[in-house]
Amino acid sequence: MIKRPDTSCDFPKSVCIYEVGARDGLQNETCLPSQSKINFINLLSQSGLSHIEAGAFVSAKRVPQMADSLNVMRAIKRQDNITYSALTPNIQGFEMALSARADEVAIFASASEGFSQHNINCSISESLKRFEPVMALAQLHGIPVRGYLSCVIDCPYDGPTPANQVLQITEQLIGMGCYEVSLGDTIGTGTPFKVANLLDTINSQIPSRKIAVHFHNTWGQALPNIYQALSMGIDTIDASVAGLGGCPYAPGASGNVATEDVVYLCHQLGIETGLNLDVLAAAGWMICQQLNISPRSNVSIAMKARQLQ
């Protein structure tokens, strides 16, 4: 029998767009000069965003695109009402994040064992254990911690990820002190019924304000998935201006859903974002020019085409 989407919740009246383009996005593009990133984040800061992922304190050898995060985060022009966050896999990273005046840090785990082993070379439970010192330090310094959970729908090694497994690890991340967990469809194979099934399970145990969704558009399904998630009361959505990031698991394909496309959807549904779409699109065109690529956002391209008419 074909399942219906769960529309037992109202759509949220407003959503928080968590902008990940400057970290999750740029981490998977060619390296840029620090000043380009600073200009990009400064322009994003004019768009009305409340959360901007601004850097990562990870191995410069493995992720050269983020090697200058300390300089970038020190040089950006801060807005009082914006949370600038950084990815911190360990204590060294956390201490650099502190030094970079990150308002928030993030840790990450996989919802599937196969991806955990391949991506960070340890089991899920080992990976969570490694984050305990970071959590302790963050608590000491009063820094909020966000959790990223990958492969929540499918894993390239293990196949479909059981929703109960996602729930269990999400609960562990919250138990460790994460104020929110961002559920990532890392390979972008999710479709609305799978999302409904996952969120049914998650919503049964965890308040939706502690859950964000992070969809990839690799198979073109990010917006229907976001529409499904909105219909189930999810009100925090990760997105990347201009779809920055591509897909590390399918070179040439799309990755992160474009912020512009999500914002257009929300505004047209009457859901407030507080965002200025023109400024977001301008930031996308600016950084894409630096990267010598076109925005991976239909909305951004349609806006430009309309301007040129």
228 binds its own copies (CB under 8 A): yes
- Give whole-number Cα distances, 203 to 170, 184, 234, 260, 287, in Å: 11, 16, 9, 27, 37
Nearest residue (CB) to its own copies, 137 versus 198: 198
Q: Is 178 a catalytic residue?
A: no
SS3 of residue 225 by DSSP: helix
114 binds its own copies (CB under 8 A): no
Nearest residue (CB) to its own copies, 97 versus 226: 226
Nearest residue (CB) to its own copies, 182 versus 228: 228
Q: How far apart are CA 248 and CA 52, in angstroms?
A: 21
Q: What DSSP letter does each residue of 117-148 carry, written as one string?
A: HHHHSS-HHHHHHHTHHHHHHHHHHT--EEEE
Residue 163: strand pairing partners: none
String of contacts with its own copies for each residue 229-248, x by CB under 8 A? --x---------------x-
Report whether 181 contacts 149 (CB < 8 A): yes
SS3 of residue 85 by DSSP: strand
**Rounded to 5 degrees, what are φ and ψ at 139?**
-65, -45
Residues numbered 167-206 forming contacts with its own copies, rule: CB under 8 A: 188-189, 191-194
269 binds its own copies (CB under 8 A): yes
Report whether 43 contacts 61 (CB < 8 A): no
| Listed ranges 39-47, 69-77, 160-168, 221-229: which one lies at the site for its own copies (CB under 8 A) | 221-229
299 binds its own copies (CB under 8 A): yes
Nearest residue (CB) to its own copies, 102 versus 187: 187
7 binds its own copies (CB under 8 A): yes
Scanning the structure block, which residue is given the tokens 């929110």? 180
Residues acting as catalytic residues? 247
Kindly list the residues in this chain that would bind its own copies in the complex (CB under 8 A).
Answer: 2, 4-5, 7, 10-11, 13, 188-189, 191-194, 217-221, 223-224, 226-228, 231, 247, 250-254, 258, 261, 264-265, 268-271, 297-299, 301-302, 304-306, 308-309
